[in-house]
């Protein structure tokens, strides 16, 4: 299981939880797992998210691997200027 931290604004979609345990070995499984556990997360994930793994902000690559030791944060996807 990996622990995924969500931004607090998502609490209303996850029964108040800010951190969710998911069975996952890469980012694709993290995102799939989150949506399976909390279907309400489908919309914010579809709107665009990045995943920070040990401080590195991954904006697209679903194959990036994660492990139990990883620090994983769900973040909103960057829109730059």
Binding of residue 79 to other proteins (CB under 8 A): yes
Tell me which residues in 7-46 interact with other proteins (CB under 8 A). Answer: 7-13, 40, 43-44, 46
Residue number with CB closer to other proteins (10 or 33): 10
Binding of residue 76 to other proteins (CB under 8 A): yes
Per DSSP, the residues of the chain read: -EEEE--GGGGGGTTT-SEEEE--SBHHHHHHHHHHH-GGGHHHHHH-EEEEETTEEESS-TT-B--TT--EEEEEPP---
Residues near other proteins (CB under 8 A) are 5, 7-13, 40, 43-44, 46-48, 52, 54-61, 64, 71, 73, 75-76, 78-81
């Amino acid at each position: 299981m990996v622990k995924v931290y969500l931004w607090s604004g998502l609490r209303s979609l996850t029964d108040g939880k800010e951190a969710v345990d998911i069975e996952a070995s890469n980012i694709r499984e993290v995102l799939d797992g989150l949506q399976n556990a909390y279907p309400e997360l489908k919309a914010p994930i579809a709107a665009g998210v990045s995943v920070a793994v040990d401080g590195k902000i991954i904006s697209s690559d679903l194959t990036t691997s994660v492990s139990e030791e990883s620090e994983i944060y769900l973040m909103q996807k960057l829109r730059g200027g």
